[in-house]
Amino acid sequence: MSSGPTNEDVREGWNAIASYWDEKMAAGETWQGEYIGPAVEDVLLPVKGDRILELACGNGEFARRLTELGARVVATDFSPAMIEVARGYGGDIDYRLVDATDAGALRSLGHPSPFDAIVSNMAIMDMRDIEPMARATIELVRPGGRFVVSTLHPAFNSGHAMRVTEESEDDTGVLRTHWVKTSRYHTPFAAKGVALEGQPISQWYFHRPIELLLEPFLANGWVVDALREPVLASSRFFSDVPGILVVRFRRPR
């Protein structure tokens, strides 16, 4: 994004909501446990012994899940408050304070050996610039290694998307139809929004259409080899409309 908030503006927002975010995740009041985590895991396909880098790990919930599956995990975030929360859970995870928009800082993570996989779980829509990450990370995985990205679905749960419930009646009773409507998709922009109702402040989002999400990765040598648009059966609005998009990139051998 050529204008809009700075990285520091974005970081201040996540520092401010870190503890609230953690409380809601721990209480199971987010999509992470029921929807996002399983969808990402299904595409990432972690196996015991994998060396995995997580970018923008937040409170570390998915990093902890990866260690349960036998992975060796390095987990990063650019928010000191989030890293503090994540470290508070303990566990054998190497947490680092790293900005995923800083290519030089990312490259420093590639020692002493390359990673088998990288994952960025529901964070790319929070990043002002994704090209440095796409450029640096292909150097961090072994040939054939993978990078899985999940994000709010740009077409249905980003931009100017509106969730609408319409109520009508017929001879069977009251009918309710749930819609997702959008009026702005193709033009990228930055705007503040709310991830969890009741959070102390809103945070910055960066909307990009799918072509602009994929473009930096493809331009830097990544190849798309899986794409999922999972739905959430328990959701009124996203039971047959995907709320998230999950993409797996590969580094060619």
Write out pLDDT tens, residues 206-227.
999 999 999 999 999 999 999 9
| Residues 223-245: tens digit of each pLDDT | 999 999 999 999 999 999 999 99
Taking residue 16's Cβ as centre, other Cβ atoms within 10 Å add up to: 17
pLDDT score at 68: 97
| Residues 22-55: tens digit of each pLDDT | 999 988 889 999 999 999 999 999 999 999 999 9
SS3 241: coil
For residues 142 and 4, what is the distance between their CA atoms, to the nearest angstrom?
35
- Sign of the Cα torsion 80, 102, 115, 126 reads positive
Name the percent of the chain lying above pLDDT 70.
99
- Delimit the domains of the chain by residue range: 7-250
* Identity of the highest mean pLDDT range in 104-118, 184-198, 215-229: 215-229
CATH of region 7-250: 3.40.50.150
Q: Which two tokens stand for residue 104?
A: 């030089």
Peptide bond into 112 cis (omega under 30): yes
Structure confidence at residue 2 as a pLDDT band (50, 70, 90): low
Q: Which two tokens stand for residue 86?
A: 């994540």
Structure confidence at residue 1 as a pLDDT band (50, 70, 90): low
Quote the strand ranges of the chain, DSSP E.
51-55, 72-77, 93-97, 115-121, 141-152, 161-170, 173-182, 189-193, 203-207, 223-228, 244-250
For the entire predicted model, the pTM comes to 0.95
Q: Which two tokens stand for residue 175?
A: 């009918």
Q: Which two tokens stand for residue 21?
A: 């975010």
> Is residue 94 within 8 Å of 73, Cβ to Cβ?
yes
